[in-house]
Structure 1
């Protein structure tokens, strides 16, 4: 029986389904482990938003000060909608620092905004290979699935993102809206 060709979306979906069995790259800061354990708690010692901000700050940090400055520039460019300015910055970061998960994730975000789903999926895959706990990348994958009408995959991705960070209320609402009983047929 011939096999059904796998699309990039299907390949990344397989990776996402396998995330619970994957470990982060060895050079991920060890302090992330404790933060993720705290984030998983319903009532931790700190507000979950603070813990989430700490995780994002660690992901965006780098031992190379110039790389960190370039990342800050790229984030500012993304936030201000200067996409043409952000692209070369992020391309340079992933080329010079291929082990930096957040560089791949930010470029995936840029590609998503530009509606370059195949490029975004490739960068999401690389992000998750390096940092399987990256709830932002998993959520971004779910957004691509929504855009492509792949609702089952979107639901699964959002559930997995929420299993990593149960405090993503916007994502929880989206998941509720995607429940079969809440979908309106056109």
Structure 2
């Protein structure tokens, strides 16, 4: 049901992202990496910078939490969704200030077509880490799935403003351009 999805509060949050700072616990290294990622001619490949950002997001000072995240990521990657869910539920309840725990749980909910749950977790991710281009992209994917093309376009443009190297999103935006929609 499209009408029951809590799109509006998350969409407003996404539109405000450029004006928000990350939560105080975010590693300072991320600021430099995002600055480097935004450059057209960075010193290293964009994929390497993205990988570093994802690695920092997935890391945690609590070794057991980090191992649990690793197990959840592995379960997601292998399609063992029933294994991933309790791990991610545990992480968000034990570490509610860990943006990536919320993001991975949002990803799981998206895969399971639980879009309202995914949107709630995306919102929590973005409250903590407004530069989370993955969460913004996930919101755009949910909008696409439900036919909210304007919101999807806006989300993908904002994700690209954070990480201009997301070529898949550029292709989706090209397909969503009004003149291309008329052709379908």
TM-score with structure 1 length normalisation?
0.95
Counterpart for residue 107 of structure 2: 109
Q: In 1, are the aligned partners of 2:5 and 2:115 still within 8 Å (CA)?
A: no
Distance in 1, Cα, partners of 2:143 & 2:102 = 19
Q: What's the counterpart of residue 17 of structure 1?
A: 15
Instruction: Supply the distance in 1 between the matched residues of 2:88 and 2:4 (Cα, whole angstroms).
Output: 28
CA distance in 1, matches of 2:166, 2:151: 18
Counterpart of 2:70? 72
Deviation of residue 99 (structure 1)? 0.2
Report if the CA contact (8 A) 2:5-2:116 is conserved.
Answer: no
Q: For residue 38 of structure 1, what is the aligned residue in structure 2?
A: 36
SS state of the match for residue 43, structure 1? coil
1:53 to 27, 51, 59: 51
From 142, 145, 155, give the equivalent of 1:144.
142
- Gaps of at least 5 residues in structure 2 are none
Secondary structure of 2:92's partner?
Answer: helix
Over residues 13-72 of structure 1, what are the superposed CA-to-partner deviations in whole Å (9 max), with x where a residue is unaligned? Answer: 000000011000001000000000000000111111000000000000000000000000
Q: How many residues get paired?
A: 182
Between the aligned partners of 2:4 and 2:20, the Cα distance in structure 1 is 21
Q: CA RMSD in A?
A: 1.3
| 2: CA distance, partners of 1:108 / 1:67 | 18
Counterpart for residue 100 of structure 1: 98
Unpaired runs of 5+ in structure 1? none
Per the alignment, do residues 7 and 115 of structure 1 end up closer, same or farther by CA in structure 2, a change over 3 Å counting?
closer
